[in-house]
Amino acid sequence: MSKIKTAFFCSNCGYESPKWLGKCPSCSQWNTFVEEVLDKGSSRSDDGWKNYSDNKRGSRTVALDEVSSTEERRLVTADSELNRVLGGGIVPGSIVLVAGEPGIGKSTLFLQSALQLKDIVTLYVSGEESEQQIKMRATRLNISNPNFYLLTETATNIIFQEIKKLKPQLVVVDSIQTLQSSFIESSPGSVSQIRECAAELQRFAKETNTPVFLIGHITKDGSIAGPKILEHMVDTVLQFEGERNYTYRILRTLKNRFGSTAELGIYEMTTEGMRSVINPSEILLTHKEEQLSGGAIAATIEGLRPLLIEVQALVTPSVYGTPQRTVSGFDLRRLQLLLAVLEKRGGFQFGLKDVFLNIAGGLKVEDPSIDLAVICALLSSYEDIPVPQHICFAGEVGLNGEIRAVNRVEQRIAEAEKLGFEKIVVSRHNKKGFDNKQFSIEVVALGRVDEVYQLLF
């Protein structure tokens, strides 16, 4: 018998060491090394993908000038938001990792997308749910597909045996943390198991030109569970996020070798599955019959898509000694910076006030162009005077109280015009970047925050 070796792996980053170390040389974390048994003596047999398909990729040296630059034909799904996030569709031979919180809707989304692809043979491998559970979900989705096949298995050697029999054109694995390779003698979900199973699936995807979707878990701090090398091995990393108390979900691109990482998909969770939100601006805006103070509309950009969102602020006298600063969907340090600008440049006494800020709809916005709307919402609540409903804002605020220019202002103006707004406030420096005559909406270009205060109040 060949000798079985053990190795030590960092549970945080996956660094491998022949002996135990107190501090990881790669990520500098302490006490993260765990011992795992490696079955190095098992000889790996040939995967047998040579006769799998006719369009397998060759592995020979070729000059760069001989490579054809024709774009690969993508597999277009029935989900327009998924196509947008992937860069136009599923690339043959790509391996995609999708991560998100438990219960957020990852399995539902990709079960629904796979069931809608009725022209191709799809294999759905589940290591977490039984066949009856998946059947119940498919019945709830009310989609039938005769080319959709199920396999409830965690051993990779059995999965690949079934793949050789079925020869699917798309494989969905739910989830990568439940798979177990016979070459590694450690428990499923460990660093070495995740790395080995992902490597075997990557080898299968590249040699057979078959796209593979891997559904993964996340840790309590929001990062993808498993070694960091897992994200480097795959072609695309998608993050599925959203608040449990809201019905809206966001599919965000963290890495994409075949498209832009700035894309974003928005879904609504319904009883019949995930519904694509074509025009999210109308949903994110609250239509109120009476005007209330503390609200302002911001024109922001999420990915390549313009959005209009509502910023809500509440400013009240502080009852306790230390004023509270509470935010939802916005950066707390950014709020403190904007309050300091209002105190220094405008003379408003926010130091004795409790300030609460909320981005309506459960979104988390990092675009600095909503600074102007945040300041207007704060001033509106401070003065208890509502901001007119027909006006929106797009501008970044600097430390000196100046309104700085934002990128792609034409798309923001066009989105505001489409939704019926009569006026949009932008930076004076943005005025040079577009032709005002092409828009019917009134574009107000201002340079400082005090000018905005005089305009509104």
Residue positions in the annotated binding site? 100-107
Per-residue pLDDT tens digits of the chain, which is 457 residues long:
455 677 888 887 878 888 899 999 988 889 988 887 765 554 454 456 666 766 556 668 889 888 877 777 889 999 888 998 998 899 999 999 999 888 888 899 999 999 999 899 999 999 989 999 999 999 999 998 999 999 999 999 999 999 999 999 999 998 899 999 888 777 888 888 888 899 999 999 998 999 999 999 888 877 888 788 888 899 999 998 877 667 788 888 889 998 888 788 888 888 888 888 877 777 777 666 678 899 999 999 887 788 899 999 999 998 877 889 999 989 999 999 999 999 998 888 888 899 999 998 777 888 899 999 999 999 999 999 999 888 999 999 999 999 999 988 888 998 898 888 999 999 998 877 677 777 888 999 999 999 999 998 8
Residue 45 pLDDT: 44
Sign of CA dihedral 63, 69, 73, 78: positive
Looking at domain 283-456, its CATH architecture is: 2-Layer Sandwich (3.30)
Q: What is the per-residue pLDDT across 359-393, written as a single tens digit (0 to 9) for each?
A: 987 778 888 999 999 999 999 999 999 998 889 99
Longest Cα pair distance anywhere in the chain, in angstroms? 85
Asked whether 215 and 240 are in contact (CB, 8 A), the reply is no
Asked whether 178 and 187 are in contact (CB, 8 A), the reply is no
Residue positions in the annotated binding site for ATP? 100-107
Residues 6+ apart with CB under 8 A from 450: 345, 346, 401
Identify residue 28 by its one-letter amino acid code: S
* Residue closest to 352 by CA, chosen among 394, 315, 326, 384: 315
User: How far, in Å, CA of 275 to CA of 13, rounded?
Assistant: 36
Q: What is the per-residue pLDDT across 381-430, written as a single tens digit (0 to 9) for each?
A: 999 999 988 899 999 999 999 999 998 888 899 889 888 899 999 999 88
What are the extents of the domains in the chain?
1-41, 75-278, 283-456
Torsions phi, psi for 3 (to 5 deg): -75, 135
248: tokens are: 């809206």
Identify residue 339 by its one-letter amino acid code: L
pTM: 0.76
Topology of the domain comprising 75-278: Rossmann fold (3.40.50)
